[in-house]
Amino acid sequence: MPGSQRHRHKRHSRQILPFASLLAFFTTTALAQDSKRGFAFNGDTHVSDNSLLTTSNSPLKWYYNWSPYPNSNLVALNTLEFIPMIHGIDATQDSRTETVIKNIPQSSTHLLSFNEPDGSQGSGGSAISPEDAAKAYIDYVVPFRTGEKGGRKWKISHPSTTGSPNGLNWLRDFNTSCYEIDSQNGCPIDFIAAHWYGAFGGLAAWLGSLDEFYNTNDSSREVPLKIWVTEMALPQQSAENTVQMMNQTLPYLDKEQYVERYAWFGAFRTNDANEWTGDGVALFDDDGGLTALGALYMGGGFQEGQKGQGEDAAAGLSVSVGLMVALCLCSAVFTAL
Ligand SMILES: *[C@@H]1O[C@H](CO)[C@@H](O)[C@H](O)[C@H]1NC(C)=O
Ligand SMILES: *[C@@H]1O[C@H](CO)[C@@H](O)[C@H](O)[C@H]1NC(C)=O
Ligand SMILES: *[C@@H]1O[C@H](CO)[C@@H](O)[C@H](O)[C@H]1NC(C)=O
């Protein structure tokens, strides 16, 4: 896969640009760097799909895959910022977790913690009680924040719950447990990770509840926390309804001050969509062309049906350990959702 960053540098350093285009270059670069948009790698190993998502004029700036292992063979390390995740208690007990996080390029600064602890393992959740999660968070995740682990001071999120009253209750109990263990600090947090499956109105309301819970209602909060929407989609709707929902959602997320990053679910082909979300959520069609939804997510300059560059390698070749871990986590997400 071409290293698009490298490519861009070369192109611009070879020529002396007139002032106007220089200005335009810096402006577009600044805009691109400001993009909040990213993607969740959910097991789509087609080279062309990943190459399109990471091409040099892509609005996507970051990705994650529910694991600490980057998909370096599909997403070149210098293209998108990789956000590691400590998915559940298992990952805290695996000695490779810390080593691999330490080796992630310094451009990565944020670390996600437990995935849907209020959800079952069958649906990709980590099924952890608030008490156990608080203990594991303080023992294992907080040292990444202080720099005792992971080679730098990571910004850490609380676990991302399902977008439901259960999720909020879980977070409330988690907070109580955190202060029972550490009455001074509780469970320190730098950003909020949120999931949402449903219509636009519900998404806006859920993000509003999280902002209220963490920022408005917590009088000890000095700097308001920002939200990362790490999973969102409109499940089981027609392609048209889904496009409409996304078209309403993207400008809202781009504008809303307390939203820092977001990722649509999902970056995969229609025939790889699971039954629970339905086909309408897929960014790619069965042939690897962008769906209307995919073209909207990629923004101006990208067309429905457009494909990325590159051929798929023979199955089984050059599949990294990280990829296999991600795939196996994702198949859990797949089967369940
Ligand atoms: C914030 O506090 C108000 C007033 O106590 C309460 O009614 C509301 O439910 C709280 N919001 C959340 C999200 O916990
Ligand atoms: C967590 O609990 C502490 C101590 O009871 C309280 O001061 C704080 O407001 C709570 N935070 C949230 C987000 O509910
Ligand atoms: C999205 O909404 C805008 C303004 O509301 C509209 O002009 C545009 O056609 C819509 N795009 C799609 C793909 O539906």
Q: How do residues 316-330 score in pLDDT, each as one tens digit?
A: 444 444 444 444 444
Indicate if ligand 2 lies below 6 Å from the C-beta of 220. Answer: yes
- Distance of CA 120 from the midpoint of ligand 1 (Å): 27
pLDDT value of residue 122: 85
Task: Name the average pLDDT for the chain.
Answer: 87
Q: How far is CA 276 from CA 196, 200, 270, 279, 329, in A?
A: 14, 18, 13, 9, 17
Q: Which pLDDT score, from 0 to 100, does residue 329 have?
A: 46
Q: Ligand 2 pocket: which of 179, 189, 225 to mutate (most atoms <8 Å of CB)?
A: 179
Q: Report the nearest atom of ligand 1 relative to the CA of 210.
A: 13
Ligand closest to the CA atom of residue 295 = 3
Q: Which of 247, 254, 293, 303 to mutate to test the pocket of ligand 3 (most atoms within 8 A of CB)?
A: 247
- For ligand 1, say whether the CB of 217 is within 6 Å of any of its atoms: yes
Give pLDDT, residue 285. 98
- pLDDT tens-digit map of 144-164: 999 999 999 999 999 999 999
Cβ of residue 215 lying under 6 Å from some atom of ligand 1? no
Among the listed residues 162, 143, 167, the one whose alpha carbon sits nearest the alpha carbon of residue 154: 143
212 in contact with ligand 1, CB cutoff 6 A: yes
* CB of 53 closer than 8 Å to CB of 81: no
Position 204 pLDDT exceeds 60: yes
**Percent of the chain's residues with pLDDT above 70:** 83
Structure tokens at 265: 């679910």
**CATH hierarchy code of domain 34-336:** 3.20.20.80
List the structure tokens of 187. 């469970």
> Quick check: 189 pLDDT over 60?
yes
Q: What's the pLDDT score for residue 107?
A: 94
Using the atom order of ligand 2, give the atom closest to the CA of residue 219: 9
Tens-digit pLDDT profile for residues 10-60: 333 334 444 445 444 444 444 455 899 999 999 999 999 999 999 999 999
Distances (CA, A) of 76 to 32, 62, 203, 275, 321: 18, 12, 32, 31, 16
Residue found under tokens 């993207």: 250
Q: Look at residue 126 in the predicted model and tell me its pLDDT.
A: 87
Determine the distance separating the centroid of ligand 1 and the alpha carbon of 217, expressed in angstroms. 6
Distance from C-alpha of 310 to C-alpha of 208, rounded to nearest angstrom: 42
